[in-house]
Structure 1
Amino acid sequence: MDFQALLISIANFGSYFGLSLLFVIIFIFVYSFLTPHDEWKLIKNDQNTAASIGLGGAIIGFSIALGGAATNSVSFIDFATWGLVALIAQSLAFAMVRFIFMPKIVARIVANEVSAGIILAAISLAVGVLNSACMSY
């Protein structure tokens, strides 16, 4: 590989990685907006393990999906588009848990029920893996 090709590769890495970090930050804000409880307060002030597990699983699940988008994208715009799709899919996963499968999930997280945090994280991870696998041509 010549020096010019190396520089182009490094620039591509930087742009994909930078957008990935931006997407993760946006996801955390969107996810926190969608949840009626304040994860950061629960985690930082109350040392709430359930909230930490649930949010951590959501971030990892989203990152798995985002990794699939980066791996399978054919251009930077394609990556950005699939990153947005991943964000929407992961947000819908939380909504499904909250409104369909476990309507009391929020109260259980606030009450620091670790089992609720674990199942929320597991669902987020599962959706992230499936989301990533489906992002292929």
Structure 2
Amino acid sequence: MLPAVQSFLAGFPNLVLHLAVTLGLLGGAAALYTRITPHDEIKLIRHGNVAAAISFSGAVLGLAIPLAFCLAASVGVWDILIWGVVTLVLQLLALRVIEVVMQGMSHRIEAGEVGPAVLLFAVKLSVAAINAAAVTG
């Protein structure tokens, strides 16, 4: 059998497992995020609130970026689980701090104001980039 095929057959199950674990962590963290925000972003998005969609997109990307770096630097499933949970907890805490510091943003997002949502998006991604660098550095 060709070495490339052997490599694929040996590595593919790990790829699927690592991907499933990482996506599971992301889904759980996104669900938890929707529970800790002062407003129901999913409901607002379903009603066409663009500001909520921007803010929630920033949160999901903000959760995914450190996880992606964790996945890239991992040596196995336990590594992904341990460091993935650590990065997600840090990111969720940072997102809550952002919302507390930037008082009134929740009401502005509920009102559909896009400007504050874009600012939140940028801050969430900035924190995620630093979190991701910290986990790999």
TM over 0.5: yes
- Is 2:41–2:53's contact at 8 Å kept on the other side of the alignment? yes
Q: Could you tell me how far apart the structure 2 residues matched to 1:78 and 1:44 are?
A: 36
1:24 aligns with 26
| Unpaired stretches in structure 2, ≥5 consecutive residues | none
Q: Distance in 2 between matches of 1:14 and 1:64?
A: 19
Percent identical across equivalent pairs? 33
Q: State the AA in 2 paired with 1:78.
A: D
The answer as to whether partners of 2:21 and 2:77 remain within 8 angstroms in 1 is: no
Q: Which residue of 2 aligns with 1:109?
A: 109
- Distance in 1 between the 2:95 and 2:130 partners? 15
SS of 1:103 mapped into structure 2: coil
Runs of 4+ in 1 over 4 A off after TM superposition: none
Superposed displacement of residue 3, structure 1: 4.1
TM-score (norm 2): 0.91
After superposition, where does 1:115-126 map in structure 2 within 5 Å?
115-126=115-126
* 1:66-108 residue CA offsets vs partner (Å, 9 max, x unmatched): 11000111221011111111211221121111112x1111111
Contact 1:50/1:117 (8 A) holds in 2: yes
- Is the 1:93–1:123 Cα contact (8 Å) retained in structure 2? no
The runs of 5 or more residues in structure 1 that have no matched partner are: none
> RMSD in angstroms over aligned alpha carbons?
1.4
Q: Residue type matched to 2:49 in 1?
A: N
8 Å Cα contact 2:30-2:63 kept in structure 1: no
Q: CA deviation at 1:5?
A: 3.4
Give 1:50's aligned amino acid.
Answer: A
Letter of the 2:106 counterpart:
V
Secondary structure of 1:74's aligned partner: coil
